Structure 1
Amino acid sequence: MATLQELALVTAVIGHSDVGHDWSSQMATPIGSGLVRLQRLMLTLLPQYWSKQNWKSLVNQVTQSEGGDGVRGVDLMISEDASLVVQQIATNLVSYCRVAMTIGGTEFSSPYCRILLTPHLAEAITMPSSRATFAPMSGAHPHSLGLLIQHLKECVDGYGSSLETHQQKNRKLESGTLGMEDVRTLLPANMTVDKLSPAQQQTVARQRLKQLVTNRKQELQHYAYLIENLLYLLWRHLQYYLVHCKPVTSDPHMVGMARSSMRLLQEYGATQSGDLTFDLSSVGEGVSAADLESLKIDIGKSLTDGLFKKLLDVEEAQFSARAELRVGFVQALVRRVRRLLKLKADVRTDI
């Protein structure tokens, strides 16, 4: 648990700092090379923390190592704490990506934003969210939009599940006296219940139930933050790839030169940081016409009307909880993404 908490603190600091700037032009300096390496390390964490299956694996490891030993109640609270920390790391990573992207790109890629993900969607199309698990990134290859879309779907489903659980536990908390079955479930199995009066058992059980309600509320906040920012990143990437991106020439000689240049950048990064890395400023470059055509064909399979409805339902649930009635960030982003998909469809029809 201590390691996860330290990682949560470090990623929180980095996620809200200027580390997201494009430092690749200063690779020759010790500070520049160190910051580029730090950028790569942040992005390397994405597959591990942008996958709910990996969340569960991390939480199980912490629960086993913290000495719960299968004791009912004890394991539950350890698992709850670990789950919130893992979610916090995920929110810090998406915060870093948002900051890094909005700082701005380069004149060679997208001048209005920084491109962090490639236009490939394999993860979002071929793997159900319930079984989605991703290996760490290799040093020379950035992640794809498929990873982002897959995690967005998981977060939307997770929000709905957490909201239902939160409402159920809140109703129990507001109902007054808890039933004996609820008390037995909430009290730790290693607690000497015989020494507690029924009133004391109720008090302890209600305290633990209040903590669970608080945890669900915090979990909903994490999911809402992830959904908003993942959707924002998705919109900016789609706007670049579907509207602004110019594919590289199909001339094999020119493609070979571009790949050779990319390898030189990677090798230079390796000599400076002691580890093979990719140049963040060139993620959106070198995209072929076939890559863009594949994106235009497959994006509709990943971004369905059902997903858009769930996204709007999430925002509506947030407004209901705060008694607010207004047009929100998610609704505006959904409208913009739909507009891009319609534009893509219109262009393909004209062709």
Structure 2
Amino acid sequence: MVNYYHEEKGTLDFLRRKESEIPEMSNADLKEFLSLSQQVYDINVMKENALQFVTDKLNKKKQEFEYCDFIIDNTLFVLWAHLDYYMLRAIPRMRHGDIPDLSTTLNLDVTLASASEATWKVSADDISNLKQGLVSIFNDSFSRQLMETAQQGSDVKKQFVENLLRKIKRLIQFVPVK
């Protein structure tokens, strides 16, 4: 989604530029934006039709960017929430060959959450592979692109993306792998 956002940014900039250039365009240039049925002899009508066409395309592209922003923000939040839970609660506490701590199994105050966590089959290799995959994805280039998507938004949005990115990187960096 971040790559798509940056690829389509050129289209958005092109439409903005064309919208501002339409008042100075000639008949030949205007025909590029109009179908045969919309091409008339009055240049002012052609300019209005072309402007309407480009404005509609521009508004649709802006709406598409708003959807992209929404998807990126929410995906980043869901990723952070899942990583936070998975990395901090699913870390294997016992290596193969270790003796299990029976004092925790005799505790009668076991909650449903801790009982379900105990059934997870997560190995240190799983966590290590996850961390390696995340390191390769959340590299400097991708992080920079992610921050650039937030630049068009408000300061709150910028801080939101920046904070989530920082939290994800912190989880990747500081979660121990045994």
TM-score class normalised by the smaller sequence: 0.7 to 0.9
- Whichever residue aligns with residue 136 of structure 2, its letter is K
Please list the CA deviations of residues 275-319 of structure 1 after superposition, one character each: whole Å capped at 9, or x if unmatched: xxxxxxx8xx63420322321232211221211111111111324
1:165 counterpart = 2:26: no
For residues 28 and 58 of structure 2, the distance between their equivalents in structure 1, rounded to whole angstroms, comes to 18
2:150/2:158 contact within 8 Å kept: no
Q: Which has the larger radius of gyration?
A: 2
Deviation at 1:250, TM superposition (A): 8.5
Secondary structure (helix, strand or coil) at the match of 1:328 reads helix
Cα distance in 1 between the residues matched to 2:68 and 2:38: 37
Aligned residues: 156
The partner residue of 1:177 within 15, 21, 24 is 24
Q: Does the C-alpha gap of structure 1 residues 326 and 229 become closer, same or farther in structure 2, counting only changes over 3 Å?
A: closer
User: What is the Cα deviation at residue 179 of structure 1?
Assistant: 4.3
| Matches of 1:222 and 1:181, distance apart in 2 | 35
CA 221–236 in structure 1, closer or farther in 2 if over 3 Å, else same: same
Aligned partners of 1:211 and 1:342: how far apart in 2? 46
Change (3 A) 1:179 1:196: closer
1:186 aligns with 2:33: yes
Give me the CA root mean square deviation.
2.9
Residue of structure 1 in register with 2:53 after alignment: 208
Give identity over the alignment, percent.
22
Alignment equivalent of 1:286, drawn from 120, 144, 151: 120
- Residues 64-83 of structure 1 show CA distances to partners (whole Å, capped at 9, x for unaligned) of xxxxxxxxxxxxxxxxxxxx
CA distance in 2, matches of 1:196, 1:248: 79
d(CA) in 1 for partners of 2:168, 2:29: 45
Specify the code of the residue in structure 1 equivalent to 2:162.
Answer: Q
Aligned to 1:317: 152
User: Deviation of residue 248 (structure 1)?
Assistant: 9.5
Equivalent-residue separation in structure 2 for 1:248 and 1:181 (angstroms): 72
Pick aligned residue for 2:63 from 218, 230, 233: 218
**Structure 1 residues 327 and 297 mapped into 2: Cα distance closer, same or farther (>3 Å)?**
closer
What is the Cα deviation at residue 186 of structure 1? 1.5
Q: Is the aligned partner of 1:308 residue 2:155?
A: no
Q: 1:343 aligns with which of 162, 174, 177?
A: 174
1:334 aligns with 2:165: yes
TM-score, structure 2 length as denominator? 0.74
* Distance of 2:69 and 2:58 partners within structure 1: 17
Name stretches of at least 5 consecutive residues in structure 2 with no aligned partner: 97-115
CA distances 1:71-106 after superposition (whole Å, capped 9, x unpaired): xxxxxxxxxxxxxxxxxxxxxxxxxxxxxxxxxxxx
Distance 1:232 1:326 in 2: 12
Q: CA deviation at 1:235?
A: 0.6
Q: Aligned equivalents of 1:227 and 1:182: distance in 2?
A: 37
Distance 1:166 1:177 in 2: 20
Write the distance in 2 (CA, Å) between the matches of 1:343 and 1:246. 12
Larger relative contact order (C-alpha < 8 A, sep ≥ 6)?
A: 2
Q: CA deviation at 1:329?
A: 0.9
1:230 matched to 2:62:
no
Return the offset for 1:221.
0.3
Contiguous gaps of at least 5 residues in structure 1: 1-154, 252-281
**Distance in 1, Cα, partners of 2:156 & 2:26:** 37
TM-score computed with the length of structure 1 as normaliser? 0.40
Contact 1:249 1:288 in 2 (8 A): no
Counterpart of 1:4 in structure 2 is none
